Amino acid sequence: MANEKDKNVFEEVKDNIQEKVDERKEEKEIEKRTDTLTFDDYVIEKIAAIATRDIPGVLELKGGFFSGITEAFASSTDTNTQGVSVEVDENNVVVDLKAILEYGQSAPRIFTKVKQTIKEKVREMTGLNVTSVNMKVSDIMTEKEFNQAKADKN
């Protein structure tokens, strides 16, 4: 009879210990979890595009080879990032732009303002650090030429 009682006590102790071990494992799992805030690349591209389009002297951001094909199938909101691509690595961002600038404007001054504005806006809105901004000027046009080309396109 004592053996049976000992077995029952042993089983109870064993179950209690296993319960405590399981609880501690669960607590450790909860401790491992961290809060995260992440962004789709599209969001960063959109911030950079909007910031760039607001700079005087930037007439338009231009997409690459596939942009015409993409535009044909995309919704109107998808063209918001045309001419902008980003690479995001942990907390760092590299922004690549393709732009049409206004004839007679200083490309270096525009580029400096674009870099400064993109870095500020991305940092302010996402907390991410823009480590590099690369801008390729794909064309220059007078404002009149640009408006005419835009009207012809529509």
Same domain membership, residue 121 and residue 53: yes
Same domain membership, residue 123 and residue 47: yes
Task: Provide the 10 A C-beta neighbour count for residue 32.
Answer: 7
- What is the domain count for the chain? 2
Same domain membership, residue 91 and residue 17: no
Same domain membership, residue 85 and residue 50: yes
CATH code of the domain containing 141: 3.30.70.1350
139 class by beta-carbon count within 10 Å (0-12 exposed, 13-18 middle, 19+ buried) = middle
Same domain membership, residue 146 and residue 91: yes
Quote the domain boundaries for residue 22: 1-34
pLDDT surpassing 90 at residue 10? no
pLDDT surpassing 90 at residue 43? yes
Place of tokens 């823009």: 130
- Quote the percentage of the chain above a pLDDT of 70: 86
**Rg of the chain taking only CA atoms, in angstroms:** 29
Model pLDDT for residues 79-120, shown as the tens digit of each residue: 688 999 999 988 899 999 999 999 999 999 999 999 999 999
Same domain membership, residue 112 and residue 145: yes
> What per-residue confidence (pLDDT) applies to 98?
96
Model pLDDT for residues 67-90, shown as the tens digit of each residue: 443 444 444 445 688 999 999 988
Same domain membership, residue 73 and residue 4: no
Task: Provide the 10 A C-beta neighbour count for residue 45.
Answer: 24
Same domain membership, residue 136 and residue 77: yes
Same domain membership, residue 64 and residue 16: no
Same domain membership, residue 12 and residue 76: no
Q: Rounded CA gap, 137 and 57, in Å?
A: 12
User: Global pTM?
Assistant: 0.69
